[in-house]
A and B are shown apart, each in its own frame.
Chain A
Amino acid sequence: MRVAILSESEYDEGAVRILIDGILGSSTEPVPVPVARNGWASVRIILPVAIKHLHYGTGAEALVVGVDSDDSPVHQPIHNPLSGAYQECRVCQLHAVVANTEGQLRRISGRPRMKIGIGMAVPAIEAWYRCGIDPHATEAAWIQALQSKIYPYTRVSLKEAVYGVSRPSRVLKTGRGTEEARRLVQDLLFLEQWFPSGFGLLAEGVRNWEA
């Protein structure tokens, strides 16, 4: 399957691909997304351009979009992305962008619609990397922290825990991410259990691609 990945940093995308391959049970063929991105805001802005490029300019069968929740609300299954009721939820915002962009696309005969999956790391992808290592690295713990304003970790401290340094290099980020993804892919249900909304819903959606 030809799959493109768009996340907040290109350095995370190797790890995300390992997880997607694990969900699908087979190796995907990478489709490059030649757009610069740096953080949530840039993903939101460039997503329509990326979808159009992949639709018209490549044979991509699927796109996986991954963002961090940072301090925004954690996506919940009860959210209805198209109702506009959860405007602060990043997953809902991205679903709305996808729906709007897909509505503008000209169909290409013989090509099925590109499948799109959206995942959200809570609060950052480094929390996924800590899953199974740090018992506080869970979605539930972060949701509680958002409510109580008492945080078990910060995005910066998560990075330090994963990379061992406060300012990881590109090589270190890519290498550690890949390493942790290889560990996580051994038991994806564990990651789904502790990150049910951000990763679980993505995994469920990706599994449905095969149907």
Chain B
Amino acid sequence: MIESVQFRNFRVLRDTTLPLSRFTLLLGPNGSGKSTALQALEAVQRRLSESGGWVRFEQVITTGLAVSEATEVEVLLCWSAPCAGMTTQVIWSQSFPKSTVKHVNSEGEGPSPQDGGPLSAMLAGIRVYSLDATQIAAGVRLVPSMELGRGGAHLAGVLDRLRDDAPERFKALNEEWGRWLPEFDQILFDTVGEGVRAFRLRTRQGHYAMPASDLSQGTLLALAILTLAYLPNPPAMVCFEEPDRGIHPRLLRDVQDALYRLSYPESFGETRPPVQVLATTHSPYFLDLHRDHPEEVVIASRIGQEARFERLSDRRDLEEILGDAPLSEVWYSGILGGVPVER
């Protein structure tokens, strides 16, 4: 697991550290670096995977910073057990515009990125999702290995594979989906072109098979999140841009369950390794669900041209401030930070 990520000169993240848990909820005003943190992780992933699309120095350097030969952009990932003491250093500079990567221990030694073993594998397994209903609903040409795209593309193919490769999981997913949205009772499939798969949802009443394109945005986004949670081999780390977006607040407890299924698999009877989850939000309702676990909440704030992160449980006065009040109300008040600056 990644214990923390230190940023230096990475766009608005001039000099700050993002503490991470198995599950981390990151909230703050627009422009406070939430999405930038996810983009940084995605840039590291690209650097360590064979997918290409490497991010360059001029794309990540802080805007307005006086640049010289010595100027560096750094993302430093600190690892917890079983790789405690190890760090992964990713540096962009004018000399190395596509970045250099080093895994090192406290004595400065470590495997090369190519032989990085679990560290490189974990980093290459980072996935960032910014789900988009149109992409989720689109049909997909089937290939042997289907993976959910950044915007949720290929969902029909991922579900199709799940049904054939892990039928028990597909059945469990159907049952859980029926609890989330009781108006539906089955995920069905349709061949909408040569080799092109699409999915439908069957209504409990009347058994009408509704094409994905007719489903609401929130329904599609929720199904994509739930599907990820039921995969037998999900990515090593998943980062969500606002997984609550478009979803009714009363369904958010279920969304939280799905994310916890990823990050605390043992709590759900799963035997696979935990997935590290990082999710951004603006939802006070979603925040309230984490009242008992302030260590999971990180508040992003914008101070001038810089963004800062602070873990909620690191505030010594937290319990005194919260008292009996809902966490959401206290956050919204601005006392905890992470709200837009007053004009």
Contact = CB atoms under 8 A, between A and B. Distances in A.
B324 A41 contact: yes
A39 B291 contact: yes
B268 to A, nearest CB: 6
A168 B269 CA distance: 11
B267 interface: yes
A63 B250 CA distance: 22
A169 B260 CA distance: 8
- The main secondary structure of chain B at its interface with chain A is helix
Interface string A24-55: 00000000000010111110000000000000
Nearest to A70: B324
B254 A42 contact: no
A38 B288 contact: yes
Contacts of B268: 169
Interface in B274-296: 285, 288-289, 291-293
Given A38-B289, A165-B266, A165-B267, A170 B253 contact: yes
B261 interface: yes
B326 interface: yes
Interface in B217-244: none
B188 to A, nearest CB: 24
Contact of B264 (A42, A159, A167): A167
A166 interface: yes
Interface residues of A, number: 20
B326 to A, nearest CB: 5
Contacts of A38: 253, 285, 288-289, 326
A183 interface: no
Contact of A36 (B249, B254, B324): B249
B260 A167 contact: yes
Nearest to B176: A171
Contacts of B257: 169-170
Contact of A72 (B288, B324, B329): B324
A155 interface: yes
A41 B325 contact: yes
Nearest to A154: B292
A12 to B, nearest CB: 13
B324 A155 contact: no
A146 interface: no
Interface of A: 36, 38-42, 70, 72, 155-156, 159, 163, 165-172
Interface of B: 179, 249-250, 253-254, 257, 260-261, 264, 266-268, 285, 288-289, 291-293, 324-326, 329
30 contacts: A36-B249, A38-B253, A38-B285, A38-B288, A38-B326, A39-B326, A40-B324, A41-B324, A41-B325, A41-B326, A42-B326, A70-B324, A72-B324, A156-B292, A159-B292, A163-B267, A165-B264, A165-B267, A166-B264, A167-B260, A167-B264, A167-B293, A168-B267, A169-B260, A169-B261, A169-B267, A169-B268, A170-B179, A170-B253, A171-B179
